[in-house]
Amino acid sequence: MFTTTEQLEEALSRPTARDCEALAELEGDLLILGAGGKMGPSLAVRAKRAIDEAGLRKRVTAVARFSGAGLRERLSEAGIETIRADLLERDGLRALPEAPNVILMAGRKFGSQGGEHWTWATNVLLPALAAERYRHSRFVVFSSGNVYPLREIAEGGADEQTATEPVGEYAQSVRGRERVFEHYAERWGVPSVLLRLNYAVEMRYGVLADIGRKVYRRQPIDVTMGSVNVIWQGDANSVALRSFPLCSCPPERLNLTGPETLSVRALAEHFGRLFGVEPILEGAEADSALLSDAGKCGRLFGSPAAPAAEVVEWVAEWIRSGGESLEKPTHFEVRDGRF
């Protein structure tokens, strides 16, 4: 169990032996573009810790706008080089250091409704500028499972061969990001892997935190999107760092999520038992949901270190003890693509 934010951050950024091996085999420095979001800081620190534990001399550089207080200083204290830059500005990109290995995390989802132009600029134009600037590098690119259509739950999740049918402008722009890397793979031979993530979770944020807090606060939970996939953020960080050998032309695609298909109703009831609260459930489960098949990820990288059932227990204890919340709902229940 985790009782402080410091303990949680340490766990999310703690490298595994396989992380250390992957960074030892990686030739050259690592550049993380868009490192200021929910996953970027712990991923950057995990990479630096893996490098240090392996006794390597490689740089980790984190690039972001760093608009939040204190983050840039915390990363610097961890030995990470930080650069404040607007990645939509060509001059800013040109001024960044060379790096043979790039993780692209910059993206925009929430606020897309009514701000569609910013979503397309961030999710399509920015990747194009980054791919052009680093055309001689390898890219691990964060994409989203939202590129898939809703799937009949009885059929299981979409695998990497499932045709993309994105619903809504956010999901369409994510497919646009993928098309950009397909284009640059063909034009300049830029190798990449597209990580279709849904959904990373930890105690302060994510689907499990959303459901758990609603149960704890006696707020209604819509169960129409009746099933979800999740992966512990630490496990998602690990896969990202170990994915560079998959980079190829055309881009490799990898569903980044956990192996379990989780019932939203069952999750709410589980939290209810842990809290001694009767969850308030609304609606009825639809026959379809946004689901991804994690079989390929499991074959390549093994099972997640933190199974969903264990993370539920951690989240419940975190909520019960008054732990920090980012107060950023995932809106996992949205079915029409309007974020």
Tell me the pTM.
0.96
Residue 130 lies in a domain: yes
Residue 335 inside a domain? The answer is no
pLDDT of 109 reads: 87
Confidence check: pLDDT of 129 > 80: yes
Q: What is the tens place of the pLDDT at every residue in 232-273?
A: 999 999 999 999 999 999 999 999 999 999 999 999 999 999
Residues 138 and 102: beta-carbon distance below 8 Å: yes
Mean pLDDT of the region 305-324: 96
- 3-state DSSP of 8-28: HHHHHCCCCHHHHHHHHHCCC
Taking 90 as the threshold, does the pLDDT of residue 14 lie above it? yes
Report the number of distinct structural domains present in the chain: 1
**CB of 327 within 8 A of CB of 110?**
no
Residue 338 maps to a domain: no
Residue 36 in domain: yes
CATH of the domain at 91: 3.40.50.720
Query: What confidence tens digit (pLDDT) does each residue in 85-103 have?
Result: 999 999 999 999 999 999 9
pLDDT value of residue 114: 82
From CA 300, how far away is CA 246, in angstroms rounded?
10
| Structural domain includes residue 79 | yes
Percent of the chain with pLDDT over 70: 100
Q: Which two tokens stand for residue 290?
A: 């946004």
d(CA 182, CA 160): 15
Distance, CA of 335 to CA of 304 (rounded, Å): 27
Helix axes 40-53, 5-12, angle to 10 degrees: 60
Q: How confident is the model at residue 166 (pLDDT cuts 50, 70, 90)?
A: very high
Range of the domain at 294: 5-320
pLDDT for 113: 78
Residue 146 lies in a domain: yes
Q: Is residue 337 part of a domain?
A: no
pLDDT tens-digit map of 30-69: 999 999 999 999 999 999 999 999 999 999 999 999 988 8
In a domain, 91, yes or no: yes
Q: What are the pLDDT digits (tens) for 104-123?
A: 999 988 777 788 999 999 99
